[in-house]
């Protein structure tokens, strides 16, 4: 199978590529894996270093908004797994334009090329944030989309476009919506790598508002395995939720990271809450378990400990990515 992975040098996309090329997904025999990535600030060479010499890997530097490049790159592939996105909520609040053009126009450009070249499966990788906040219970796949930030609104638009190409043109599309994801090679602007690297460097960490916002934490390996199962087993037009059920308030998460890094609460600096900050996300994963046979396997305690250890042992990767203080 010839697989195109957009955003394959980013956090989750690179983990997917590594799993494909190291045999961690035996149900996906990849003859060729092409990474299409614009190498924005959140993409790094190091994330692909473990598989750099694999002869099946091909890397194309370019933007998914470049229609001519996308058309030439998509040609000859059996599947497109679409990770490429602007994804940081705070950045989308400050400047939304790149989020709209990348996450909406870029997705449409890929869909057009996939349709034109007869791609057999298009996987739209999305987020639980498209549903907005839920006070109790969990969102099902039939829940209305109610995004709160420019980021989540642009992802919701991309999802709807992908599903529309399935309904209008018959393109074989599946959508995955994942919970907050953590693990190695995550750019240190998201809460876990930001807090861990700050603490390892002896700096304070910023905690939004009262710290009571609740998130479900999913290890990147579990997330990628769910995407692989959706790629191979999902029904055309299906939406699949990927969540662990391991819910923590941001304050509880902060406490765990402080303990793991040997730091105390004096290192926590309260900051004003984010605009439009969703209080809680939660996904009902019943359909995913029944149709795909997916269950998360990485326990949160072990996953967080391994992640902290990875950042402690890989300063050479993340130190150049941190702003000078």
93-114 pLDDT, tens digit per residue, is 998 999 999 999 999 999 999 9
| Residue 151 is a catalytic residue | yes
In this predicted structure, what is the pLDDT of residue 262?
Answer: 96
- For residue 94, how many other CB atoms are within 10 A of its CB? 10
**3-class secondary structure, 83:** coil
**107-116 and 150-169 helices cross at what angle (nearest 10)?**
20
CA distance 139 to 149: 18
Closest among 237, 221, 236 to 294, alpha carbons compared: 221
pLDDT tens for each residue of 135-188: 999 999 999 999 999 999 999 999 999 999 999 999 999 999 999 999 999 999
Query: In the predicted model, what is the mean pLDDT of residues 303-314?
Result: 98
Alpha-carbon torsion, ordered 9, 15, 18, 23, to 10 deg:
-160
- Mean pLDDT computed over every residue of the chain: 96
pLDDT attached to residue 226: 98
| Cα–Cα dist 132/50, whole Å | 36
Q: pLDDT confidence of 324, banded at 50, 70, 90? A: low
Q: How far apart are CA 193 and CA 185, in angstroms?
A: 9
Complete domains list, the chain, with CATH: 2-180+220-242 (3.40.50.720), 182-215+246-280+299-321 (3.90.25.10)
**Catalytic annotation, pick one of 37, 63, 86, 129:** 129
User: One of 86, 128, 159, 278 is an active-site residue; which one?
Assistant: 128
Q: What is the mean pLDDT of residues 191-211?
A: 96
- Active-site residue, selected from the candidate residues 151, 165, 187, 311: 151
Average pLDDT over residues 70-87: 96
247 belongs to the catalytic site = no
pLDDT tens, position by position, 244-280:
999 999 999 999 999 999 999 999 999 998 888 989 9
Other C-beta atoms closer than 10 Å to the C-beta of 140 total: 14
pLDDT > 70 fraction of the chain, expressed in percent and rounded: 99
- With 80 as the cut, is the pLDDT of residue 234 above it? yes
- Write out the two tokens for 135: 């006070």
Task: Indicate if the pLDDT at residue 211 is higher than 90.
Answer: yes
What was the pLDDT predicted at 208? 94
């Amino acid at each position: 199978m010839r697989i195109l992975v957009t955003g394959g040098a980013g956090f989750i996309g690179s983990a997917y590529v590594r799993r494909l090329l190291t045999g961690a997904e035996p149900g996906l025999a990849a003859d060729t894996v092409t990474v299409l990535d614009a190498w924005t600030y959140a993409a790094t060479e190091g994330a692909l270093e473990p598989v750099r010499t694999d002869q099946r890997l091909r890397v194309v530097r370019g933007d998914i908004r470049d229609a001519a490049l996308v058309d030439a790159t998509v040609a000859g592939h059996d599947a497109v797994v679409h990770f490429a996105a602007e994804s940081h909520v705070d950045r989308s609040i400050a400047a939304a334009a790149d989020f709209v053009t990348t996450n909406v126009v870029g997705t449409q450009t890929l869909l057009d090329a996939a349709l034109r070249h007869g791609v057999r499966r298009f996987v739209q990788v999305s987020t639980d944030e498209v549903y907005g906040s839920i006070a109790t219970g969990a969102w099902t796949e039939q829940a209305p989309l109610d995004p709160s930030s420019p980021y989540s609104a642009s992802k919701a638009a991309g999802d709807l476009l992908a599903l529309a190409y399935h309904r209008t043109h018959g393109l074989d599309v599946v959508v995955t919506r994942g919970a907050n994801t953590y693990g190695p090679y995550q750019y240190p602007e998201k809460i876990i790598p930001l807090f861990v690297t700050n603490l390892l460097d002896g700096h304070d960490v910023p905690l939004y508002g009262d710290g009571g916002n609740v998130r479900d934490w999913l290890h990147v390996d579990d997330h990628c395995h769910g995407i692989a199962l959706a790629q191979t087993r999902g029904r055309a037009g299906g939406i699949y939720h990927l969540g662990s059920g391991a819910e923590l308030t941001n304050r509880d998460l902060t406490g765990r990271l402080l303990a793991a890094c040997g730091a105390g609460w004096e290192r926590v600096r309260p900051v004003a809450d984010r605009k439009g900050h969703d209080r809680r996300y939660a996904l009902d994963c019943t359909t995913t378990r029944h149709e795909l046979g997916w269950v998360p396997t990485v326990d949160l305690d072990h996953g967080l400990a391994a992640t902290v250890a990875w950042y402690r042992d890989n300063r050479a990767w993340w130190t150049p990515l941190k702003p000078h203080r």
